[in-house]
Amino acid sequence: MSAPPNTTSWIQSRLGAVYEVAEEGAFQSSFDQLFSPNCEVRVDHEVHPLQTFRGELMSRRAAAQSVAVAWDDAGGGIISTNDDDPNLPSVVAGSLVVTRSLRWLIRAAPAQRMTHINFSAKIEQDASVQADEQGDRRRVTSFYYTSVDRVPPIHLAVPRSAKEGEK
């Protein structure tokens, strides 16, 4: 049995999986491996039941044909209060950008939606959940989530005759 990953790697792999998995069953499993059943969730600083948050994430997946997660290192990346001992509680904060390519096309390319996410998560060992293959029972027990949706700009080609006329 290998040692469990540090807290930063753990949150990146688990949170990334929630967004990147394609099938609904895999999403449910990834969600359950990330969050404690008793997790306190705050979306935009308002309390949300965990199941409501799960439903909101599920609904965002509906029209996506592919998803890419990019961790934002501009603000220092993911910061953890305890990256050394996975048995001790830790608070982790970070940001990521989830880019969804949608099923419909704009100018012969898939439409996209970018969600910029900032989060803070308290990660603790949770005796109420089954341990993974490494004996790790870590789960997010408190989660603060703020997101902003953006549509990337559409770059329209300028006809050559218009460019030549400006000279």
pLDDT tens-digit profile of 129-163?
988 888 889 999 999 999 998 887 766 666 666 55
Distance from C-alpha of 50 to C-alpha of 32, rounded to nearest angstrom: 11
Are 41 and 143 within 8 A, CB to CB? yes
First to last CA, the chain: 69
Query: Rounded to two decimals, what is the model's pTM?
Result: 0.81
Instruction: Identify the weakest region by mean pLDDT among 17-26, 36-45, 60-69, 156-165.
Output: 156-165
Mean per-residue pLDDT, 98-114:
79
Q: What is the dihedral of CA 130, 136, 141, 143, to 10 degrees?
A: -120
Residues 6+ apart with CB under 8 A from 3: 134
Mean pLDDT of the chain: 85
* Position 79 pLDDT exceeds 70: yes
Ranges of beta strands (E only) in 107-159 are 109-125, 138-150
* Position 1 pLDDT exceeds 60: no
**What are the residues facing 92 on neighbouring strands?**
80, 121
